[in-house]
Amino acid sequence: MNRKIIGLALLTVLVIGSIFAVGCIQSSREKTKSETSSIAESSTPETERTTTEETQTQEAKTQNDAESGEDVPGNTENAYLLTAGTYKGTLEEGDDADVYVVKLGPNDVLRITLIPSAGLDVGLGHCASGETVDVLSSYVENRGMKGEKEIYLRIPNRKLNYYIAAIRESGSGTYELKLEVLKQNDADSGADAPGDTDDAVQLTPGTYKGFLGQDDNADSYFLKIGPADIVAINVTPSSEFDVVLWTGVDDLWAHDNGLKGEPETEHFVNEEKDNTYYIVVTAKNDEDIGSYTLSTSVTKQNDAGSGADAPEGSDDAVLINMGTYKGYVGQNDARDFYVLKIGAGDIVKVKVTPSSDLDVMVAAAANADNLYFGFDNGLKGEPESVTYTADEDTINYYIGVRYKGGAYAGNYTLKISISNP
């Protein structure tokens, strides 16, 4: 009987132990479930947003745009100041623009080159207004594709802050921003040549370089020239650029025959006095920008080897003999007169051949009072001929060459032959 009582007691202990163990397990499970539920409830959308912002902030802190130690802001109010040099930056989703500013002076030329990495397409924003909308949308160069560079030149012609933006068009990646600030040196003047002839830069014959664009769309120069000087001007713009050449003494005349990259030329014969000859080079379109080469020459006339311009009248005609001579006529130097000494029976043949774009007339007579420019049979570049037989002893035979048209001025060849059968 005692054994039965002991057995029942052991069984009771085992049952109570089992129930206690199951209760502990259930309690542990409920506690774990409660803790999990509590964690889930504490992870709200606000918490997730805070976590995301903290992550983005940490990522932004890893950027070092233009060695700023951070991501450069995308607005003009907080634009990052740069000087000439080469800089690195990053653009990616959520960081669509970096805005910079550079200080420019009146003689500066700014060249901007923006080169993106292979996976990034960029726009190059630029403006002087200081408005964010202008630099990010109104004035943006975006000609290239992903990985292709954008280039822009600016001549402010005044002191200002100039804003530059690297803008993400698509993709993401790094970029290289190169700023070059050059000083203008039009015609070796050390500065920008003024646009007003009152302050024009004086030149001597030679070849010069100049630059035009945007706020600097005219450069003015002048030459000092003497009586009957022959002036030749040639201005050749860079290949992407078109210019207009203005020249003259009192009134300026436009020369606008070429296209982009093609030269404009002028030939001018000064009148019989000293003069100031003005040369103005302008950009054909105000927003165009480019360089040009300006060549000037001033030549003293040497009609028939006389060392000067042949006179306009027969009284002071240049004495010549049989032979071939060179001369020059034009709108301000319309006539050249020569004289021959011939004898009775001499047969004189006169032939005047102008340059291909020039038309001339010829006068010839033994009596200066009878001179008349009646020999006018040829067209531009075609010769005029005269034959005369002297019927008196030792007389003066006068020859006149007169500008008729075609080119503004040009050369001619005068050939004299004398025979006496």
Domain extents in the chain: 60-183, 186-299, 303-419
Q: Please say whether the beta carbons of 108 and 155 come within 8 A.
A: yes
- Same topology for domains 186-299 and 303-419, yes or no? yes
pLDDT at 112 over 80: yes
What pLDDT band is residue 8 in, cutting at 50, 70 and 90? very low
Residue type (1 letter), 198: D
Q: Is the pLDDT of residue 45 over 60?
A: no
| Residue showing tokens 């030792």 | 394
Q: How large is the average pLDDT for residues 3-16?
A: 43
Question: What DSSP string runs through 269-316?
Answer: E--SS-EEEEEEEEESSTT-EEEEEEEEEEE---GGGSSSPPPSSGGG
Distance of alpha carbon 378 from alpha carbon 110, whole angstroms = 55
Residue 49's H or E segment, with its range, is helix 45-61
What's the pLDDT score for residue 226? 94
Q: pLDDT by residue (tens digit) across 236-283? A: 999 889 999 999 998 999 999 999 999 999 988 998 899 999 999 999
Residue 134 is given by DSSP the state I
Task: Reply yes or no on whether the pLDDT at 361 is more than 50.
Answer: yes
CA distance 75 to 67: 18
Arch. (CATH architecture) of 303-419: Sandwich (2.60)
Q: What is the mean pLDDT of residues 336-360?
A: 96
Distance CA 380, CA 354 (A): 7
Residue 376's Cβ-side half-sphere holds a number of Cα atoms within 13 Å equal to 14
Query: What's the pLDDT score for residue 199?
Result: 96
391: three-class secondary structure by DSSP: coil
pLDDT per position as a tens digit, 123-132: 999 999 999 9
Q: How do strand 253-255 and strand 80-82 relate by DSSP bridges?
A: unpaired
Q: In the prediction, which pLDDT does 43 show?
A: 47
The pLDDT of 366-380, averaged and rounded, is: 92
Residue 355 region by backbone torsions, left for phi larger than 0, else alpha for psi between -120 and 50, else beta: beta
Q: How far apart are CA 250 and CA 256, in angstroms?
A: 19
pLDDT tens digits, 328-337: 999 889 999 9
How sure is the predictor about 97, in pLDDT bands with cuts at 50, 70 and 90?
very high
CB 67 within 8 A of CB 81: no
- What does the mean pLDDT of the chain come to? 87
H-run or E-run covering 35:
helix 2-42
Asked if residue 31 has pLDDT above 70, the reply is no
The model's confidence at residue 13, banded by pLDDT at 50, 70 and 90, is very low
Per-residue pLDDT tens digits for 388-403? 999 877 789 999 999 9
The pLDDT of residue 213 is 86
Residue 56 clears pLDDT 60, i.e. is over it: no
* Residue 382: φ, ψ to 5°: -100, 145
Number of other residues whose CB lies within 10 A of the CB of residue 286: 12
24-28, 90-94, 106-110: least confidently modelled range: 24-28
For residue 241, the one-letter residue type is: F
The domain 60-183 having CATH identifier 2.60.120.380: the answer here is yes
Q: Quote the pLDDT of residue 44.
A: 52
348 band by pLDDT with thresholds 50, 70 and 90:
very high
Decide: 227 and 274 in contact? Cβ < 8 Å. yes
pLDDT at 46: 53
Written as one letter, the residue type at 185 is N
More confident residue, 47 or 384: 384
Distance CA 314, CA 310 (A): 10
Q: Which range has highest mean pLDDT (21-35, 54-68, 88-102, 361-375)?
A: 88-102
Whole-model pTM?
0.71
Q: What is the per-residue pLDDT across 142-173, written as a single tens digit (0 to 9) for each?
A: 988 999 999 998 888 889 999 999 999 999 99
Averaged pLDDT for residues 366-392:
92
Q: What is the C-alpha to C-alpha distance for residues 79 and 73, in angstroms, rounded to an integer? A: 6
Of the chain, the percentage scoring pLDDT greater than 90 comes to 74
Helix or strand (DSSP H, E) at 389: strand 384-389
DSSP-based three-state secondary structure for 378: coil
CATH 1.20.120.640 fits domain 186-299: no
28: pLDDT strictly greater than 80: no
Q: What is the mean pLDDT of residues 53-64?
A: 58
The answer to whether 282 touches 218, Cβ cutoff 8 Å, is: yes
185-222 pLDDT, tens digit each: 999 999 999 999 999 999 999 999 999 988 899 999 99
**110 contact partners, CB below 8 Å, separation of at least 6:** 102, 104, 153, 154, 155, 156, 162, 179, 180, 181
- Residues 81, 67: Cα–Cα separation, whole Å: 11
User: What share of the chain in percent tops pLDDT 70?
Assistant: 86
Torsion angle, alpha carbons of 153, 155, 160, 165, to 10: -10
